[in-house]
Amino acid sequence: MKKYVIDGVHGSRKSELLDLLSKKRDIYPLDLDEITKFLIDGEFRKTRNEKRILPYLRNSFLDCQKAIFKIKCEWENDAYKNAAQKNMPVIQAGSSISTLAYMLSESKTDEFDSAAIEKRANENRYDIVFLLKFTPKKMMLPSEYECRIKLENTLLDVYKKFGYDMIGIANDDVDARFAAVLSKVEAERK
């Protein structure tokens, strides 16, 4: 079973691209960014993990990231099992190891046990990892821009640490990104 990751900073339109890919092709979509979106939007109560996440939100960023990592691993495992039964490749938005990039970008690694992420990264290999390049918005504050560029560079570094050469996808419109990702996935599947 093939596993493909679409990653990038917040607002790079990973989920939108994943949605397009899942409608056009016979793939198993997995949107790990939904975990964070639900936390940010306060909608996590709609999922099965509400009781485990909400206490962490009241405590600290570190505890929240640990909980997100654990849930991402569970969701990946469930998706891989279901996709294997259906003989389908998985294309996922985000990954369990991108949690380390978020921790590094916040300079919280000295408090965070990165050994669990390293173990996961070595046990769970992806076939291709795409990086959706960040597209700055017109009304973005310089500090927000700098933060996202720092995170994008950290994502590149973390994936490289685990032996991945991310394929950069230009900040074109979603249709152009769709075509770029789809051509690489189809070439890989042959």
| Mean pLDDT computed over every residue of the chain | 80
pLDDT tens-digit readout, 69-98:
888 888 899 999 999 999 999 999 998 888
pLDDT digits (tens, 9 = 90+) for 55-65: 555 556 677 77
Q: Read off the pTM.
A: 0.82
Q: Which residues contact 40 (CB under 8 A, 6 or more apart)?
A: none
In order of their start, the domains of the chain are 3-189 (3.40.50.300)
Residues 6+ apart with CB under 8 A from 11: 134, 135, 137, 148
pLDDT of 43 reads: 44
Cβ–Cβ under 8 Å, residues 54 and 44: yes
With a pLDDT cut of 90, the percent of the chain lying above it is 23
Across the range 44-65, mean pLDDT stands at 58
- Alpha-carbon dihedral sign for residues 82, 88, 92, 98: positive
More confident residue, 23 or 105: 23
